[in-house]
Structure 1
Amino acid sequence: MITALAEQDELALAPGFLEAIGRGVGAILLYALVGLALMIIGFYAIDVTTPGRLGHLVREGAPNAVVVTALGLVSMALIVVVAIYSTSDRLLEGLLTSVIFGLVGIAVQVLAVRLLERIIGIDIGLVLQADRFSPVSLIVGAGHFALGLVVAVAVS
């Protein structure tokens, strides 16, 4: 009899289990939407501030445009991840932190990378439109990634 009760307890769900799962799934969906929205905004911010149509270049497989875009998106994801992690037990605060720091991060990245390009003397329009890989695209991509790290650490 005691063994049967013990087995039933092992199969029973803890009180509040389903509620916790529901909250967790809801949080995942909300953070995913915020992250996706920020990455789309970040993509368009890079697109608007660089010569040429970045989306078209990426779809056409221009290697330098792909490198810069990919590293820009990874840097945005870093900011969102750290914002989520630093406020993981407070959903609304985490979402707001992600949005606010994400938008600030986008602005900082775009401005700083454009400044870096000017200081180094990179014609980013020519680099992005080139049919062949240019190591210069790694400098621009690294600038996006590095600034994403800086903003992410500032969030934490």
Structure 2
Amino acid sequence: MTAVALESGYWSALGEGVGAILLYAVIGLVLMLIGFYAIDLTTPGNLRGMVVEGKPNAIIVTAAGIISMALIVVLAIYSSGGKLSEGLIAALVYGLVGIIAQIISVRVLERALGIDIGVALRAETYTVEILVVAAAHFALGLVVAFAIL
């Protein structure tokens, strides 16, 4: 029978890694919730209610916002170079700045293009202009995420 020998400090390193994953997951979740509520506060109507009701355009915009926040958090983690405390702070700060930049930019783009986001979100069926809004969320998430690097 062969015994498996683990390197000294293996369990400690494993525990630190699991802890880091959990902390980043909490920050990611908090940022996504803040981002969702920021989008909700800056759009006409109750975005959460529209998502619950199954309004397709509200669901698409919400999904695009969540994906863009995830991109920001992922690159903030990546840029931290494995330093947990710096990575957590960077993810939180960059995430909050990203939310603000994203909300302002998307609202400006909607106005510039003449998109009535309130009407589009409340629509019972999918409308094509919502792709521009979703793309704006995604694109701004990419811009902020790569600016972190």
What range is the shorter-chain TM-score in? over 0.9
How many equivalent residue pairs? Answer: 149
| RMSD between aligned residues | 0.8
Match of 1:37 in 2: 30
Q: What is the aligned-residue identity percentage?
A: 58
Structure 2 length as normaliser, TM-score? 0.98
Kindly report structure 1 stretches of 4+ aligned residues shifted beyond 6 Å. none
Match of 1:71 in 2: 64
For residues 126-141 of structure 1, the aligned pairs below 5 Å read 126-141=119-134
Q: How many angstroms apart in 2 are the aligned matches of 1:88 and 1:77?
A: 18
The worse-fitting range, judged by mean Cα deviation, of 39-48 and 85-94 is 85-94
Match of 1:109 in 2: 102
Q: How many angstroms apart in 1 are the aligned matches of 2:67 and 2:42?
A: 18
Letter in 2 for 1:105: G
- Larger radius of gyration, structure 1 or 2? 1
Structure 1 length as normaliser, TM-score? 0.94
Name stretches of at least 5 consecutive residues in structure 1 with no aligned partner. Answer: none
Match of 1:154 in 2: 147
* Residues 45-85 of structure 1 deviation map (CA, whole Å, 9 limit, x = unaligned): 00000000000000111000000000000000000000001
SS in 2 for 1:132: coil
Match of 1:86 in 2: 79
Name stretches of at least 5 consecutive residues in structure 2 with no aligned partner. Answer: none
SS in 1 for 2:45: coil
Q: How many angstroms apart in 2 are the aligned matches of 1:30 and 1:19?
A: 16
Deviation of 1:42 (Å)? 0.1
